[in-house]
Structure 1
Amino acid sequence: MTTNVPVRTYDVPRVEAQRHSLIVLVIAQVLSGVGLAAGVTVGALLAQDMLGSTGLAGLPSAVGTAGSALAAVAVGRVSQARGRRPGLALGYLVGAVGSGGVIVAAVAGAPVLLFLSLFLYGAGTATNLQARYAGADLAAPARRAGAVSTVLVATTLGGVAGPNLAAPTGSLAAVLGVPYLAGPFLLAGVAYALAALVLAVWLRPDPLLLARVLEAGPAATPHAQPDDAGSRTRPPVARRRPGVPVGALVMVLTQVVMVAIMTMTPVHMHDSGSGAAASGLVIAIHIGAMYLPSPLTGRLVDRHGPLAVAAASGLVLLAAGTLAAVAPDDSVAAYAVALALLGLGWNLGLVTGTAIITDAVPLATRARTQGWVDVSIAIAGAVGGMASGLVVAVAGFPLLAVGGGVLALAIVPVVVIARRR
């Protein structure tokens, strides 16, 4: 005689839809990772070449992250009103348009058009981050961080491939009569457009809209939901997570430090005599470290709670900044390790903050709140990107790296205060 575990009918579409949503989101994230990484690799170098100034080399990152701030609001509002599918698809489509504008600006030698296009290109970055929330919409409470990490880790493949395609796409661009440094944006435009197409066609049912329907059902009991495997959820103590301000602050601090150091490392390596292939390799390793540890990070957050992982992110970022500051100018390996730590610290902070925000906000207002939180993250990135070039021009790259690491330590007192509360 076989005993079957009873499964409530409203749990079946949740589990199946969650699995389908994750598959579609993973495909889109792989594509968007290519678009995201391609621009990161050469954006600062392209601006430096067009403007002839190292002090303004951080401006592209600042403009792009400013664009991502506006895009975060737009994607959040569209998602709130119409669902994740149209919101995310629209964001990637705008990123593709921005990529095309960068190419036109490089050909025409028009700095104003370059920065306007980079502003639009930033929508791809914002959308790439917003997609992590879509992964958590239908996830059981005890597996939300794991679902977020699945979406994030999918960016790794495209993120690692993108920088390493900088040289081949540069050569292709030269054949087409486009400046060498604008080549990666050819790849970015195609990748973002394909990501938008995948989401628009296949992200059905919409995870946020379905989650609302299921929550409104008569049998909905959020604190007693089974997880995807049908096992019991964690005890109520697992739900005692900090609120929106704590999650937002953790992500803001990790973002500003990561963007500042990441933006100026290729410029510093270029000025020290390293070629595009070397800086591309370092950025590829960095982006891999940003996303590849996500499954482990998600498990740690789900099992031990977010605060301990948040504190670890501050310590890892301090180590990254210190190593980058003392690395010999000609040591590609040292910069690779430093930026790997930088990516890991960012990952720990992002997964932690995302889990906190998702648990703290109800479905009725979740997408809008998440959009505004990502605005603060984007503004932090804009500040980090803009300030990075100025700091390097005035005081040098080592001071930027150490200062960023010290700033990341501010996460530790935030964790201590949150634990006491």
Structure 2
Amino acid sequence: MRNVVLVTFDSLRADHCGFMGYDRDTTPTLDAMAAEGLNFEHAISPGPSTPESMPVIMTGEFPVGSDDSGSSLLATRRAKIRRHMKTRETLAERFGRAGYATAAFSPNPYTSRYFGFDRGFDRFEDFMGGSREELYQRMLDGALAGLPLGSVLPVRILLNWIQREEVFKPWEDFYDAIRAWTEQAPEPYFLWILLMDTHDPYLVPDDYRTQSWRAMYHANYRLWRQGHEPPFSETTHERLVRAYDDSIAYADAFLDRLRTDLADDDPLIAVHGDHGEAFGEHGTYGHHQRLFEENVHVPFVVEGAADRNVTAPVTLQRTPELLESLAIDGELPAFDDRNVPARTLDVDRSAVRARTYKYLRDGDEVRLYDLVTDPGEESPSRDLDPVARAPVTAREEHVAERRRIRDAVSDRGDRL
């Protein structure tokens, strides 16, 4: 059985990686890993944000069923994630059942123990202990829901800035803790690390900046000040993209150090983005509730596995199956030409990505894009090809049936 390391880069889109054709030298280490290992050219995130993608990636299943907390949409989504993580076998539990030691390090609150991401880990560090844990639990539980969001966020941002937490926590601040665990962990081990360095605000150390300190901070300030809503000036846009690319290069340096330090352990090292990031495409910046390629097409590379490029679309929903098969069985599962899904947590928007086309549903509106002639998804086809639409219809019927069954079981349990 092989040691396994899973590295999640928050907000890393595929087309800003060198091995995916990007013209800036953002990912030299990941490029080498892709050249020597298993590279999924069309890896699709299950959703456009961390709360929508990571529960699926860590369990291999989409959340189903309806949740009505009786309060707000935010509370409903929160309850849905917590219930999902509580009732599904996690990737850590899979490896633990096979005899692996397990550990995780993640400064993202949406992958914290509050949401159940600690299940199955012998060591779980979400950097939310002490007074911070109480504060964030109150915020996540809705105790501060009565306050305007604009009054809460500045306080939270200031606190994070001072304490270098959440999106402000660079990987170098907890790298020693990661190494300390790997040095004493029994083998085989499974280690999961989520890095926030590629999430906005895109702030990097001086050695990785390719523009002035002032330009980097001003662009990030404009992004925050406008709530990620365009329009932005051409100068601000270019500075934001450059800051993002610099943050990718800084995160790539983590991989370089990790590969060197763990060389004697000979692990499988899997690297992926949990979702993408928009920079003006389709009128958005960041990762809003959109399922276009900039939001869901992410890198997915496994070093230490077969030297192969998989060109068929692959969903990150298959991560548990893939890693377990590679590490324990030494086999690569079959990846045929598939129609892979992505959707928002409330299922208002959904997508099916195939090799040459993409189907998007937004409420009652449906669109089909030919990714060969229109890779930017700018001009939807006027005619929805019945052949192309068939797998979409079948999948939505399947999801709806699972939801009906779960709701019926839940209703029966409430009456017993």
- Taking structure 1 as the reference length, the TM-score comes to 0.32
The structure with the largest helix share of the pair is 1
Higher normalized contact order (CA 8 Å, seq sep 6+, divided by chain length): 2
- Taking structure 2 as the reference length, the TM-score comes to 0.33
